[in-house]
Chains A and B, each alone.
Chain A
Amino acid sequence: MANARYSDLQLDALRELANIGSGTAGTALSSLLGCPIELSVPSASALELADAVEAAGEAGDVVWGVVVPVTGHVDATALLVIPEADAATICTMLGVDPDTDTGRSALGEIGNIMVSSYVGALATMTGFELDLRPPQSTRDMRGAVVSSVLASHSGEHELALVLDSELEVAGEACTLSFMLLPTPAGVAELLHRIGLGD
């Protein structure tokens, strides 16, 4: 079974952490763009690599991916995925051109601000010390972006824990997908800290 490694209770707790994290990230994005952000209920699932890529959406579609490595008590990678057209919408709202260096760094900065807020909320709740490395953004096929991040994390593990949140910019057909991919050791740390360790 795909979820065999984590109990439902553990996944519920991780989902709740993701909920609080993405709520904070949504608030940050909202003040950045000057408009309301709608949040979906996040999902927390332990997936096989191939399933995790599939769950992220159509692999051949071109997206903007912003990656922020998280280190400290928990090692993780935060990945923000924005479909190409939606990234263009966000850049227009910010008054920059997505195909320029300025546009690229604006998207990186959005990733950075969202990840800082998300991770900051997580750190406050768990008492962890967490550091962010500089964001990197790329425009490419969704499958190439997501699979490369997963591959760098997986090592001997067959399953990846994916905390996935969808954020929608109100009034614009514009959706951002935010994923936190902790290393398996990081997940164990997180669960231990909230009293649900094995």
Chain B
Amino acid sequence: MTDLSTATATDVVVRMGELAASASAGDVLVCVGLGSCIGLALVCRRGGACGLAHIVLPESGGRTADRPAKFAEHAVPALIAALGPHGARPGCLDAILVGGAQMFSSSTGMEIGARNEEAVRAALVRAGIPVTATATAGSVGRTVRVHVATGTVTVREAGSKEVGLR
């Protein structure tokens, strides 16, 4: 018998500053080539719903952005809100963080990755959501995939194999 969840798998690419929530078993939420950005996956422990946000910067400094997930402080509540209609409550969510790397040395003033991770973690604490797995920091780019059918989260670095995080 054909595994329909694989046969019909659709990549939903989540670009910089965007987020996606889904309860469709065929969906795979993807952030391709995260550098200093954070791919924040929220997965419902009871199954069914998953979300992914592609977070660019730590703080908005009070500014509004066209994109809901550009700033960490907006992205976490926005992703939780997007998961609501799919039946996922904050109390049943696990967070997985990917990215937050420093692609170039700090002399270029690009230590945004670490600040991104810090800000996302702080926003998750405020929302009461535990971080259960991470693939962050360092100086490598990463691609994260969230398989809605299984709640599996995988990460791949350039030139490496896909590794399971959850």
Contacts and interface: CB of A to CB of B under 8 A. Distances in A.
Given A140-B158, A143-B141, A147-B35, A69 B108 contact: yes
B29 to A, nearest CB: 15
B33 A152 contact: no
Interface stretch (A26-34, A53-61, A87-95, A161-169): A53-61
A145 interface: yes
Contacts of B57: 151, 154-155
Interface stretch (B12-20, B43-51, B88-96, B118-126): B12-20
Give the contact-size bracket for chain B.
35 or more
Contacts of B22: none
Interface in B95-154: 101, 103-105, 107-110, 112-113, 139-143
A133 B105 CA distance: 12
A53 B104 contact: no
Contacts of B32: 59-60, 141, 143
A147 B33 CA distance: 8
A59 B139 CA distance: 17
Contacts of B110: 148-149, 152
Contacts of B34: 143-144, 147
B37 A148 contact: yes
Contact of A59 (B33, B56, B67, B101): B33
Nearest to B15: A50
B81 interface: no
Contacts, number: 113
Given A49-B56, A60-B32, A143-B32, A156 B103 contact: no
A118 B60 CA distance: 33
B33 A142 contact: yes
A152 B16 CA distance: 13
Given A50-B16, A50-B18, A67-B108, A143 B33 contact: yes
A49 B109 CA distance: 19
A139 B35 CA distance: 12
A117 to B, nearest CB: 21
Interface of B: 15-18, 32-37, 56-57, 60-61, 63, 65-67, 70, 101, 103-105, 107-110, 112-113, 139-143, 158-159
26 contacts: A48-B17, A48-B67, A49-B67, A53-B33, A65-B103, A67-B104, A67-B108, A69-B108, A77-B108, A136-B105, A136-B107, A140-B35, A143-B32, A143-B33, A144-B142, A147-B16, A148-B35, A148-B103, A148-B104, A148-B110, A149-B104, A151-B35, A151-B36, A152-B108, A154-B57, A156-B60
Given A50-B16, A148-B112, 11 more contacts: A69-B109, A136-B105, A140-B103, A143-B35, A144-B142, A145-B141, A147-B35, A148-B35, A148-B37, A149-B110, A152-B112
